[in-house]
Each structure stands twice: as structure tokens, then as C-alpha cells.
């Protein structure tokens, strides 16, 4: 496969990595509580030049430019999540292909 096509398809040396996160949350079932937590989560993610996609309790994290997420990104987000009072348990998955992987069942539910 030619280099141009590998770059377009984000394969081999152009592969981009990301990781999954699963949470167990313990917060009041109100719109205000969810928005408050989600706003802080987005601020923490964007402060590390990352993006998230998915739901509030299971989402995928990747870099916001043509680079891969790193183990340092995984650690930083995991530490931040564990410091939040609403987070009862968290599982941060391993780095995986952000474009050609399936993150639906990639990591187990966090233990309570």
C-alpha cells in the first residue's frame, strides 16, 4: 500500500491511538448534577488536548489533532476521574487503534 493511502486511512506509521473509559457514577439523578459533572469532564479533557465521544458512563478518548493519545494522557485522565466525588469506580482501557478498532466491549465494567 502506498504511503499516501496509508496516511489517508491512518494505517501503519499514521495509526492514531485512543482509549476507552468506563465509569460508575454516584450522583443525584438531576439534570443539574449531570451537566455539572460533564462540564468539568470536558474541561479536563480539553485541557489535555483530547476529545471524547460516547456516553457519560462509557466513552472513547483520542487526541484532538493528528497524533495519538499517550499513556501519560491515560494516566492524567484516570487520576482526575478518581479525584471526582461523583465517580464511584473507573476503568481506563489500554491504548488501541482510534480509527479501526471497536470500543463497544473492549473493557470490563469497573468493580464497585
pLDDT given for residue 85 in this prediction: 95
Q: For residue 12, what pLDDT is reported?
A: 62
Q: What is the mean pLDDT of the chain?
A: 86
**CATH fold for domain 15-97:** Alpha-Beta Plaits (3.30.70)
CA distance 88 to 111: 9
For the chain, the structural domain boundaries read: 15-97
**pTM given for the model:** 0.82
Q: Are 76 and 109 in contact (CB under 8 A)?
A: no
For residue 3, give Cα distances in angstroms to 6, 8, 19, 96.
Answer: 5, 9, 26, 21
Top pLDDT among 5 and 67 is at 67
pLDDT attached to residue 102: 66
pLDDT tens, position by position, 15-60 = 688 999 999 999 998 999 999 999 999 999 999 999 999 988 899 9
Amino acid at each position: 500500500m502506498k504511503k499516501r493511502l496509508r496516511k489517508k486511512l491512518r494505517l501503519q506509521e499514521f495509526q492514531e491511538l485512543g482509549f476507552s473509559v468506563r465509569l460508575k457514577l454516584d450522583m443525584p439523578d438531576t439534570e443539574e448534577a449531570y451537566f455539572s459533572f460533564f462540564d468539568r469532564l470536558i474541561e479536563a479533557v480539553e485541557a489535555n488536548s483530547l476529545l471524547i465521544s460516547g456516553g457519560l458512563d462509557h466513552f472513547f478518548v483520542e487526541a484532538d489533532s493528528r497524533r495519538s493519545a499517550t499513556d501519560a494522557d491515560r494516566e492524567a485522565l484516570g487520576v482526575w476521574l478518581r479525584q471526582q466525588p461523583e465517580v464511584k469506580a473507573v476503568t481506563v482501557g489500554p491504548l488501541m487503534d482510534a480509527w479501526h478498532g471497536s470500543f463497544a466491549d473492549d473493557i470490563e465494567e469497573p468493580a464497585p
